[in-house]
Amino acid sequence: MALVGLAASRLTPSPAPRTSGWPIVRRNFRVYRSAWLIFLTGFLEPVFYLFSIGIGVGQMIEGFQFNGQTVAYAAFVAPGMLAASAMNGAILDSTFGIFFKLKYDKIYEGVLATPMRTLDIATGELTWSLMRSGVYSGGFLLVMAGMGLVDSWWAVLAWPATWLIGFAFAGVGMALTTFMRSWQDFEYIQLAIIPMFLFSATFFPVTAFDGWLRWVVEATPLYRGVALCRELTTGALSMDSAISVVYLLVMGAVGLLVASRRFDKLLLH
């Protein structure tokens, strides 16, 4: 009986060791280590927008009223660019990068031959997207501070706020990518990103919109990020900040959950 028990214990599979998404992060770091210019271009784009629109157009506009405070135009636009840089950094890897690995490079099939699970893939890719987003927004926030466009000590929380923005967009971007069938489907991503960038109170106050259109704008994720960053960098805080935090957290969590389940369906069935 002892021999039978010993044989049975050897045949019973031991539970798989706990893993995480860090191997995915390390792999992505090694791939991008020799392509650092890609990161540089992503960082410079919002900086150029700030110089051309925030500074150039700002010479002709005195400023706007924001939550009862008069804010110079450059200081008004800069946090909008900060939120947009976080969005762009998260979207790039969570959409184009994942689609290529999923459909063409077939990396994830090899990953699943290890103890890693689909949830580890999703969290690893999300973490990498957040890191890229954090690099973009952190560098841009330093530029803002150097130009004197930060008016409050609350701005120290603006960088963590950009991680929330990156979390929201990376989660949803990753989830949507799992439904895409070809590169042409990415036109829908751009169709959503560009209007949000232009009309999410990035360059002018949301009060420019009336009625239901204003409600639509305020419901967009980039507006929630812009409002959060703008309140922190100007010190004009309101309940909008709390609403934005909850909105972005829920958006990212739902995206991560959907992406993980979609990876299960695409890679395990």
196: pLDDT confidence band, cut at 50, 70 and 90? very high
Do 234 and 69 form a contact (C-beta atoms < 8 A)?
yes
Cα torsion through 49, 53, 55, 58, rounded to 10: -160
Candidates 62, 255, 85; CA nearest to 158 is 85
Task: State the CB neighbour count (10 A cutoff) for residue 18.
Answer: 8
Residue 4 has what pLDDT?
39
Q: What is the pLDDT of residue 19?
A: 57
Q: Is the pLDDT of residue 28 over 80?
A: yes
Q: Which residues contact 82 (CB under 8 A, 6 or more apart)?
A: 46, 137, 140, 141, 144, 158, 162, 229, 233
Average pLDDT estimate for 239-256 = 95
- Cα atoms in the 13 Å half-sphere on the side-chain side of 57: 15
Handedness of CA 235, 240, 244, 246 (dihedral sign): positive
Among 13-17, 49-53, 73-77, 106-110, the range with the most confident prediction by mean pLDDT is 73-77
CB 122 within 8 A of CB 263: yes
Tens digits of residue pLDDT in 68-127:
788 888 899 999 999 998 998 888 889 988 998 888 888 888 888 888 888 899 899 999
For the chain, the structural domain boundaries read 36-268
Q: Say which residues have a Cβ less than 8 Å from residue 22's Cβ, sequence separation at least 6.
A: 124, 127
What's the pLDDT at 115? Answer: 86
Helix and strand numbers (H, E) in the chain are 12, 2
**How many other CB atoms sit within 10 Å of the CB of residue 14?**
7
For residue 72, what are the β-bridge partners? 63
Both tokens of residue 119? 């949830």
Give the pLDDT confidence score for residue 168 in this predicted structure.
96
Q: What share of the chain is helix, strand, coil (3-state, %, to 5)?
A: 80, 5, 20
* Of residues 35, 217, 234, the one with CA closest to residue 132: 35
pLDDT over 80 at 26, yes or no: yes
Biggest distance spanned by C-alpha atoms of the chain: 91
Q: What pTM did the predictor assign?
A: 0.87
Query: For 201-213, how does the pLDDT look when each residue is reduced to its tens digit (9 = 90+)?
Result: 999 899 899 889 9
Q: How far is CA 135 from the centre of its chain?
A: 11
User: Which pLDDT score, from 0 to 100, does residue 39 have?
Assistant: 67
